[in-house]
């Protein structure tokens, strides 16, 4: 990494919800910022945990047996293999960390499946 | 991970600078909070990058050829093998992510070498 990353400035470069923006790497992990608004899609990652840290707003990570409610400065790691579905009624900003080859929609596929952009 | 982690609440549980507190795991990586105050020790990690995100205050990551100045909401990943020395004139709160087996002082050793505590 050549220079520091200001997360708030990077997130401004994203123009739609659920478009992941890669701001850097930690070994073979990608550091992603994303605007969350509305409901994503139920999915799981059988090969990896999934890290979420809320930078602004409120994020709900729906699990099959409960909801995880995250405000700014709160994080949750979804264990590998566990179905989850993020949602936010108002736009939230989130830092996500997962291996480089992780697909955003996991096993679900569908129209929300996108490659991250480098920002 | 059973429940969410509030980073500010966790950091309050640490009673001295440079005592790493593990708040969770992402696969084989540990998620650490740490209070930084004063200067750490010059060191490097030959096997891994090192992730720093400032949660409060201001952190300087000294590199041999320049300083990286981080305010709240800014992150930097020190590439593996690169010598660095964190410092903060006033207490800063930092999230660090690195593989579980990473030693806090890297190759340097010395009196600041400590195991993280689970908090």
Say what the pLDDT of residue A87 is.
98
Say what the pLDDT of residue A95 is.
98
Half-sphere exposure of A113 (CA within 13 A, CB side): 10
**Which residues of chain A have a CB within 8 Å of the CB of B4?**
68-70, 74-76
**Token digits for B80?**
């593996």
Q: The pTM is what?
A: 0.96
CB B19 within 8 A of CB B35: yes
Say what the pLDDT of residue B15 is.
93
Q: Which residues pair with residue A12 across a beta bridge?
A: none
CB contact under 8 A, B77 and A6: no
Say what the pLDDT of residue B16 is.
94
Say what the pLDDT of residue A22 is.
98
- In the three-class reduction of DSSP (H, G, I as helix; E, B as strand; rest coil), residue B69 is classed as strand
CA distance A84 to chain B (A): 13
CA distance A5 to chain B (A): 5
The phi, psi pair for A8, rounded to 5°, reads: -65, -40
Per residue in B77-114, pLDDT (tens digit) is 999 999 999 999 999 999 999 999 999 999 999 989 99
In chain B, % of residues over pLDDT 70: 100
Say what the pLDDT of residue B110 is.
92
Q: Which residues of chain A have pLDDT under 70?
A: none
Chain A positions with Cβ closer than 8 Å to B:
1, 3-8, 23-27, 29, 31, 48-49, 51, 53, 55, 68-70, 73-80, 95, 97, 99
Say what the pLDDT of residue B57 is.
98
């Amino acid at each position: 990494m050549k220079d520091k990353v200001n997360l708030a400035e990077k997130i401004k470069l994203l123009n739609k919800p659920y478009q992941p923006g890669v701001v850097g790497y930690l070994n073979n992990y990608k550091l992603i910022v994303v605007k969350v608004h509305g409901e994503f899609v139920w999915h799981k990652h059988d090969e990896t945990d999934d890290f979420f840290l809320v930078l602004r707003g409120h994020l709900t990570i729906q699990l099959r047996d409960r909801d995880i409610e995250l405000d700014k400065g709160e994080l949750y790691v979804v264990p590998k293999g566990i179905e989850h579905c993020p949602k936010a009624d108002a736009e939230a900003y989130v830092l996500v960390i997962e291996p480089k080859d992780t697909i955003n929609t996991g096993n679900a596929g569908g129209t929300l499946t996108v490659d991250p952009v480098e920002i």
